[in-house]
Structure formats: C-alpha cells, structure tokens
Structure 1
Amino acid sequence: MKVAFLADNLNQDNGWGVYAKNLIVSLQKHGLQPVVFVSRGRPNILFAKAYLFSYYDDSFKKSKAFLDYQKIQRYLKEVDLVHVLHEPYAYLGGIIKNKLKKPFFLTGHGTYLIKPLDNTRLLKLYQPAYQSADKIICVSQYTRNQLRQRLRLNNLTVIHNGVSINQFSGFKRARAKNPPQLLSVGGLKERKNQMFGLEVFRQLKPIFPEIKYNIIGTIDSADYFNKLQQFIKAYKLKDVSIMTNITVESLRKYYHESDIFLMPSKKVGCDIEGFGLVYLEAAASGLPAIGLQGSGASEAIKDGFSGFVVNDQNQAVDQIKSLLTKPDLYSQISQAALTWAKEHDWASLALNYLNLYERVVAEYQK
C-alpha cells in the first residue's frame, strides 16, 4: 500500500514532528510505502519522496491550498490513501479527496483541530474538510469530545499516541538517594502550566531541601517566560533551571537522570492538551508522571499505575511526597510505567493505523 502523508514537519524537537516521523517509520517497517510532504524543516533522508509546501496559519487562504494541490497532484495519482498528520492541512486533504477521489484521513491532536472551529472565517473552510474525511483519528477520547462539542461527526475514531521504546532507557528505576529531581518538558506557555509546577516545587522545598527542578521547553510566550523567571526570583528558588534550547540527546539524558515527571497541562480557551507525548516518553524512561485532570493527560497517564492524575497543587505535592519517601511505591510505579510505555510502543500501534487504512481502501475498491 502506498500512502501520502501531509505533515507540518518531521523534526524531533516538537510533538508534531515526533508523532509524524515515528508513525511513518513504523508503518514503513510493516511494508507501507510512504510519500511524504512537509512544509518546514528538511524531510528525513529515509523518505524517498518529500516535497515542501507552504505553511498555513491563522491567515490561511484557500487559494494557497489550491496552489499546493497543483504542485503535488502529480505525485498523488498512484497513492491509495492520503493521511493529513497535522490539522492545518485538513483543507488541502479535502481538496485531494474531491479532485482525485482518494480516501482521506486526518489526525486530530488537540488545539489546531479545535481552533479553526472557534473562528468564523476558518469554520467555513475547515468544517467541510472535517466532514469529508473518511476518518478523523483523534489521539484521545478527550480530543474527540472537544471536537464533538463543536461538530456532529460520525467519522471519528480514537488511537492513542505512541512512543518508540528503543529511544529511551527501558530499565526499571530505583530512585536516586540525593538530590531528588523533578522534570517538566513542554513549550513555555500558559497551557503547559509550568507556574503550577513552580508552586508545587516551592511547597516541596522545605520538606526536601536538596530537591531540584529542571524545566525544558521553547519560549512559546515571552510574557509567560518572564512570569516564570519573576516567580523564581521572588521566592529565591535557586535549584530551578529553565533550559530553552537543548538537543534530543540531552533531553533523553534528563529523562534518565530525573526522579519524577511533572507536566500539569491545562485547557486555556481552545488551546488544549490533546494527549501529551512527553508522558509516554517519561514512562519509557521508567519515570513516574504527574498530570492534571481536564486534559488528555488522563489518558496518557494511567492513574495509580504509571503515575498520578491530580486535581490541584495539594494533591500533586502529596503524591510526589509519597513517591520520594516510599521506595517500594516508587519502584512499583516505575516498573508499571515501563509496562504502560510498552503497551504504547509504535511498533504495535502502527498496526491499528494499517488495519484502518486497509479497511477503508477496500471499501473504495468495491
């Protein structure tokens, strides 16, 4: 089977890119032939055919999509199916289906699935595209529910995100005696809610004087970044480090050296945490995770098994205290986290996509 993938990027420094590359590589190992189109960053040399097209943002105009269609249509004639991996390209996917009568899949991650539906102009463009998709694969029940609140659709299915186990440690952890280390990974912005993490850390500091907190993420909001720095300064939190530009290899090192992963993402308007790949990366490193109710974290973390999903800062503090003071509990959650990650390994998850592709393509061929 030959499938065209439309993606924003394949880079490994962001969730979209990690998802796209891991899915395509895993499908390719199962015999699928990918034809990949990206809009930014150079496509990985692994993919024999990859062609750049323009990026769509809030100023998106449908004329751009038609120009891109004209540019790439000659490469699409022989593909069996088109899968749009990132939501801004849904409109282009709809054009391809209409013009070439190819099955059209769309992955719905979160914010950029919902955002166009809360914009009057974009709604007119994206609603028909969503309706025309043969399948919208939502990465969580949470994302699907957010979409259903805005549109009545009967083409939705859920396949949770995955993780490539072999990229992480995959060993059972015993918590280091000193000093305990917390880790957050995600863009520095209100939705990722690092301020919550700082407040939790401030409350833990008198109990664990040597505790450290590493926050890793790009500066998505300069204002929010400044607020974090002001909080650190106001409370003299010298053991907090914010790193905004590190390599993938360094990120994995921090996963392996940390004790607890804390990422309390929250909903901010239509900006949502659809799933949270980082929770699975933490699990693949044997790292217990703490997330917040009201987001896709409730599905990325198996509460009480791979970590804990909490309601507020007090609960977060209590769960972290338990993990840091009860070695048996820590080892239990760490081992369970590895099991949870293995259940979400891309090697097996990719078969869910492949089976869905084959079923829909067979219907078109009847």
Structure 2
Amino acid sequence: MNIAVRLLWNSAVPKMAIEEARLTKYKLFIYRDAGGNYDLNGVDYEILRRKGERGFLTPLFSYLTSLYASHRGKDATIDLDLIVHATRIIKGFTLFHDQFAGITGYLRKIFYDEDYAIYLHETSLTIKGLKYLLPRQLEKKILDHSKVIITNSYWNKQVLEEKGYKSEVIYPGCYPANKISYNRDKIVLSVSTWDSGRKPELYGEIAKKINGKFIMAGSWARKDTMDDFIARYGKYVEVTGKVSEEKLIELYSKASVLVRFGFNERGPGMGVLEAMGYGVPVVVNEGLGSKELIKQGENGYVVKDENEAIDRINQILENPYQLSKNAWETAKSLSWENHSKKLIEILHNY
C-alpha cells in the first residue's frame, strides 16, 4: 500500500500525506520537493525530483499551470512529466492526494489494471466555462476509474454525489495538545498558504477593527503578493511568512482566537483544526468547509461577513475560556491517529 502526493511544500495536502504515511507505515511517494519544512523522520518516503531540480519541460508546465492558477506561483507547477514518470515507479494499490497525482493511478489502471484510490481536496467539476473543460473531463476520468474516492468534508461529498460519485469523508487531523493554557494573549491568528485567491486584504481590514494583535502566519505563494499586502496593511498586521512547526505551535498556544475565511473552499482548512487542537476558538465564514466543525457559540462561530467576524472576534477576546476548552475537546476526536485508523479501515474494506 502506498500514498502519493505531488508537492512537498507548506500546505495542508502534503502535511496530510506525511502524517498518514507516518502512522499507517505506507510508503510515501513525493513527486517534487518544493521546499516544505516537514519532519520526515519515521516516514518511508521517496522523492522523485529534489528541491531546485527542473525537468526539460518544466518551463512549459509552469506556463500551462499559470493559465489556471497564476496566483499560486511557480512552486505550484503541475509536473506532467513526473506524473507520467511515476507510473513506472509506483506499484501496487496507492492513495493519490488530488486529481492530478491521480493521473498516475489512472494510467496504471489503464495499462496494468491496477486499482487505486483518490483523496479529493477540491473539485473542478463545479467550475463552469470552456477554459475548464479539460480539467473537468480529466477529473471525471480519474474519478470514474478510482476504486474509492475519499474527500475532506461533507460539503465536498454532497457536491460529488450531485455529480454521480460516491465518496467517503475523512477530515484532516491534528495532534491535540496534552494540556492547554487558559492564560491567553489578545492575539488574533490566521494561518494559511497565502495567495491572492484567499483575499488577504480582508484580514487586513478586519485587523483595523479588532481589540488585539493580528498575526497572519504561513507561506505566501508569491513574494509580490506578500510585499503588496505588507505595504498596505503592515501597520495593522504582523506577517510571519514561512514558519516552523515549533513557531506555529507557539502561536497556537498563545492566541485567543483564529479567523479564517473561505470562498467556496469546501475543505476544512488545516489551520482551523490545528488551532482547535491547542484550544483556540475559531471564527469562520459560510464559504469554508470548517463550518461543519463549529458548534455555534460553543467552540467558535460561523459568520456571514466581515462585520460579524469583527464583532465575534472582539467578543471572544473578552473571555475565551469556555470556547477554548470546547475547541480543544472537539479537536481530540480529530486526531491524526483517528484519521489514520479510519483511512486504513476504508481502504481495506474496498
């Protein structure tokens, strides 16, 4: 049994693949190291393209990727040469993280009649327009031939059902703290892999009106996007850029509230789960899959807009104790251990 992920960079997808491989003991195949700072001790892994290496066709693939996701930067390049090359390396039943890595599984199914599974983080099936015809058709082929489809939220499951696909839901996991501090700083935290599509300016506007310090943690897909944001909002927001796991844990341990907005982002958002694991109440909007984890007024709030977010954030800053305790309790059921047990159960049942 194997797990495959296209990129090793600082985002939820490779983190999930790594923790799954660590706990299941399945072999992990990483197509390209794009500079993620992860602890791979105890993980059986193989990297097909090391950091800084390029293929002959990399410039072409970077250009093609930019036609669909220019805001994600060159590190997000879909390396079609590696996807095809992996069909000669990865053998046996494999869980592929995302539909593009799943091309490898599809090719092995066609040529070797070998079954595979897909973990679908986001789907292109709902995106309209001629431009997205090829990604939609490609995703359909991969889903049609997959033995099992796993996804990260019931929102995504519903979308897939509407398109005719049965799927299983396994939320991403976290490592809940053994104990948490209730002596919190008035820090409002937001954690993500930042790009223009996640509308960082929204957080800058929120930061102007909260009664605490606002910190935006995490890598930025493009330096110019980060620089523009700092020039505009640096007075109100501390921008950390890429952070180590140790620093992230320190921030989670101190923060009083985490805020995260999504814009038809049906996945839960890894930062939301991790924050709850350290007792941080969360404020999310209706456009993020994390809304499924929120019990209104108990471990956080689901809000309609920026103004309601500001009100709820300031409310939590005044007294985060009970919400903090409840957020921690929620996270305990969403541990990586529970995630991996459910993953093994589903894969073996198929």
TM-score by length of 2: 0.81
User: What is the DSSP-based 3-state SS (H/G/I as helix, E as strand, rest coil) of the residue aligned with 2:168?
Assistant: strand
Structure 1 residues 192 and 61: CA distance shift in structure 2, 3 A = closer
Q: 1:104 — aligned with what?
A: 116
Q: In the alignment, is the contact (CA less than 8 A) between 2:117 and 2:147 conserved in 1?
A: yes
Q: 1:85 — aligned with what?
A: 97
Question: How big is the shift at 1:49?
Answer: 5.3
User: What is the DSSP-based 3-state SS (H/G/I as helix, E as strand, rest coil) of the residue aligned with 2:280?
Assistant: coil
Which deviates more from structure 2 when the two are superposed, residues 342-351 or residues 316-325? 316-325
The yes-or-no answer on 1:129 pairing with 2:142 is yes
Match of residue 274, structure 1, among 267, 270, 275:
267
**CA–CA separation in structure 2 for the residues paired with 1:310 and 1:37:** 39
Structure 1 residues 198 and 94: CA distance shift in structure 2, 3 A = same
**CA–CA separation in structure 2 for the residues paired with 1:111 and 1:303:** 27
Structure 1 residues 113 and 339: CA distance shift in structure 2, 3 A = farther
The yes-or-no answer on 1:350 pairing with 2:346 is no
Q: 2:196 — aligned with what?
A: 190
Q: 1:120 — aligned with what?
A: 133
User: What is the DSSP-based 3-state SS (H/G/I as helix, E as strand, rest coil) of the residue aligned with 2:101?
Assistant: helix
Q: 2:19 — aligned with what?
A: 22
Question: How big is the shift at 1:143?
Answer: 2.3
Question: How big is the shift at 1:142?
Answer: 2.1
Q: 1:200 — aligned with what?
A: 206
Q: 1:364 — aligned with what?
A: none
User: What is the DSSP-based 3-state SS (H/G/I as helix, E as strand, rest coil) of the residue aligned with 2:307?
Assistant: helix
Runs of 5+ consecutive residues of structure 1 not aligned to the other structure: 29-33, 361-366
Which deviates more from structure 2 when the two are superposed, residues 84-93 or residues 215-224? 215-224
Which deviates more from structure 2 when the two are superposed, residues 194-203 or residues 330-339? 194-203
**CA–CA separation in structure 2 for the residues paired with 1:252 and 1:264:** 21
Identity of aligned residues (%): 18
Question: How big is the shift at 1:190?
Answer: 3.3
**CA–CA separation in structure 1 for the residues paired with 2:148 and 2:241:** 36
The amino acid that maps onto 1:101 is D
**CA–CA separation in structure 2 for the residues paired with 1:275 and 1:82:** 24
Structure 1 residues 40 and 112: CA distance shift in structure 2, 3 A = farther
Q: In the alignment, is the contact (CA less than 8 A) between 1:82 and 1:105 conserved in 2?
A: yes
Give the number of aligned pairs: 323
**CA–CA separation in structure 1 for the residues paired with 2:23 and 2:107:** 27
Q: 1:68 — aligned with what?
A: 86
CA RMSD of aligned residues (A): 2.9
**CA–CA separation in structure 2 for the residues paired with 1:273 and 1:82:** 24
Runs of 5+ consecutive residues of structure 2 not aligned to the other structure: 50-54, 66-77
**CA–CA separation in structure 2 for the residues paired with 1:116 and 1:159:** 27
The amino acid that maps onto 2:220 is I
Structure 1 residues 358 and 281: CA distance shift in structure 2, 3 A = same
**CA–CA separation in structure 2 for the residues paired with 1:202 and 1:51:** 43
Structure 1 residues 175 and 95: CA distance shift in structure 2, 3 A = same
Question: How big is the shift at 1:147?
Answer: 4.3
Q: 1:31 — aligned with what?
A: none
Q: In the alignment, is the contact (CA less than 8 A) between 1:105 and 1:135 conserved in 2?
A: yes
The yes-or-no answer on 1:154 pairing with 2:175 is no
User: What is the DSSP-based 3-state SS (H/G/I as helix, E as strand, rest coil) of the residue aligned with 2:100?
Assistant: helix
- Map of 1:1-366 to 2, 5 A cutoff? 3-9=1-7, 13-28=10-25, 34-41=26-33, 44=40, 46-48=42-44, 50-52=46-48, 58=64, 65-70=83-88, 72=89, 76=91, 79=92, 81-110=93-122, 119-148=132-161, 152-165=163-176, 169-176=177-184, 180-204=186-210, 208=211, 211-222=212-223, 224-232=225-233, 236-237=235-236, 240-267=237-264, 272-325=265-318, 327=319, 330-360=320-350
Deviations 1:193-251 (A, max 9, x none): 332222222122xxx3xx21111122224554344324326xx53xx211113222111
Question: How big is the shift at 1:131?
Answer: 0.9
Q: 2:73 — aligned with what?
A: none
